[in-house]
Amino acid sequence: MKNNPYPLLKIAILMLLVLFTFKTNLQAQNNEQYIFGDALPDAPELSLRGEYKVGVRTLEFVHKGQINVLKSKDGVDAVYDRPLKVEVWYPANLSDNEKEIVAYDQVFGVSNDPKRPLIPFQFLGRAARDAKPKTGVGAFPLIVVSHGYLGSRLLMTYLTENLASKGYVVVAIDHTESTYRDASPFQSTLLNRAKDILFTLNQIADLAKPKSKSFLEGLADANNTALIGYSMGGYGVLNAAGAGYSQQAGTLFTTMTGGSKAIEVRTSGNAEFIASQDSRIKAVVAFAPWGMQRGVWDAEGLKGLKVPTFFVAGSQDDISGYEDGIKAIYKGTINSERYLLTYMNARHNVAPNPPPAESYKPERARDYAHYSEPAWNERHINNINQHFVTAFLGIQLKHQDFGKYLSVQPNSNEKNWTGFPPRSSVGLELLHEVPVK
């Protein structure tokens, strides 16, 4: 009996079809480029972008007459005009030929460090450069964002763009002497974080006033402001919102600077600090805030934080600490309604964009580690952050009915959290405390 060639022909045709389908699907995936902040298939509900198209612009401010602590000597403080560059994301009106895409310029490395030379690179975002602002719908709540040390105003574009699409004006600061491009001794960061944040809030408030002739005129509602900070940015936003630094922090700063007492104006109990409390600040999001392990915060200072606060941490944070670090801050802010979202087994990098492709090279391993989380998918972390920050700020600034997304059992492994696709809320904890009476 002769062999029948037709079954073999059918198998060959079937294999060709499978290969063709695989190749087509692969090409489609490659053509649909992932951009930081895009929702993964398992992204929680509120991580999806909002109804508004997003514009982005760069502004430059100068904070005049500031203490130049890097040139302080023998307790005498020098003075300088402190430049600050900020990036502003906002709801926009796009014309038919405008694309909601932008290339951001960033660098790897650390200035003045021959072992980590500055290398420029670009990454894409979902915003339109210099687009016309959305008008005729009223002013949008303001959010001021503060990066880590070292960092930049572009460190969290997955979140800044996402929030702008949901009807916020989002302003991220390049903190002078604290970025990759101008890294300087740590004492400048210790002194200037909260001051930069409050100054930027005032600048945006002025630009939002009638007859300012700024694109922000009537666009931003500075009287309804939230602060977001990561690491040293978390240190800064907590202080700007009312948590005074400890006397120990003041002593540490004076020792580091050879006698400067410039930070005393941001310590708890100081008359100037008390007078600086800003009622326009309605909420705070603090990612991995630094300082508790170094004695920067104490019980008295943390009592000064009275606005609702959402903390985010990794249970294995090796920079800010967890039990005696971020969680201790959470427990100590007894006059604030607060939440603590914990990524179990994560370290410190629970806030940045994912590592850019350029950092995959072996010689850029330290730069890769600056963004990466060893036990987590950074894109998944970004989506979860978008979800919870949207819920929290939606409640605090817009009075939206998002309570169900925060009213979940503490352990995400026990039952699927509201808003999460089935089987996707694992390895998380969400704690909640109300102010003491």
What is the DSSP annotation of 349-384? Answer: -SSSPPPPGGGGSGGGHHHHHHH--TTS-HHHHHHH
Helix axes 378-398, 157-164, angle to 10 degrees: 40
Determine if the peptide bond prior to 150 is cis (ω within 30°). Answer: yes
> How far, in whole angstroms, is CA 106 from its chain's centroid?
16
Tokens read off for 342: 């914990």
Q: Which amino acid is at 288?
A: A
Distance in angstroms (rounded) separating the CA atoms of residues 50 and 46: 9
Q: Hey, which bits of 216-268 come out as E strands?
A: 220-230
Distance in angstroms (rounded) separating the CA atoms of residues 265 and 257: 16
Are 289 and 194 within 8 A, CB to CB? no
pTM exceeds 0.85 for this model: yes
Distance in angstroms (rounded) separating the CA atoms of residues 367 and 375: 17
Give the count of beta carbons closer than 10 Å to the beta carbon of residue 326: 31
Are 215 and 140 within 8 A, CB to CB? no
Query: What confidence score (pLDDT) does residue 32 get?
Result: 63
> How far, in whole angstroms, is CA 405 from its chain's centroid?
20
Query: What confidence score (pLDDT) does residue 44 get?
Result: 98
Please report which helix (H) or strand (E) contains residue 314, including its range.
Answer: strand 309-314
Q: Which amino acid is at 28?
A: A
Are 296 and 246 within 8 A, CB to CB? yes
Distance in angstroms (rounded) separating the CA atoms of residues 103 and 125: 6
Q: Which residues contact 7 (CB under 8 A, 6 or more apart)?
A: none
Write down the mean pLDDT value for the chain.
93
Q: How is the chain split among helix, strand and coil, in percent rounded to 5? A: 35, 25, 40
Are 428 and 342 within 8 A, CB to CB? yes
> If 0-12 CB within 10 Å is exposed, 13-18 middle and 19+ buried, where does residue 137 land?
exposed
Phi-psi sector, 104: left (phi>0), alpha (psi -120 to 50), beta:
beta
Instruction: Name residues of the chain where pLDDT drops below 50.
Output: 1-6, 8-31
Distance in angstroms (rounded) separating the CA atoms of residues 199 and 113: 30
Query: What confidence score (pLDDT) does residue 112 get?
Result: 84
Side-chain-side CA neighbours of 264 within 13 Å: the count stands at: 11
User: Euclidean distance between the first and final Cα of the chain, in Å?
Assistant: 93
Query: What confidence score (pLDDT) does residue 164 get?
Result: 99
Are 288 and 310 within 8 A, CB to CB? no
Look up tokens 């400067």; give the residue.
260
DSSP conformational letter for 47: G
Tokens read off for 205: 């408030």
Q: Which amino acid is at 216?
A: L
Q: Hey, which bits of 98-219 come out as E strands?
A: 102-108, 119-125, 128-129, 132-133, 140-146, 169-174
Look up tokens 């009996």; give the residue.
1
Are 354 and 123 within 8 A, CB to CB? no
Query: What confidence score (pLDDT) does residue 386 get?
Result: 99
Tokens read off for 107: 């660098």
Helix axes 186-207, 247-256, angle to 10 degrees: 110
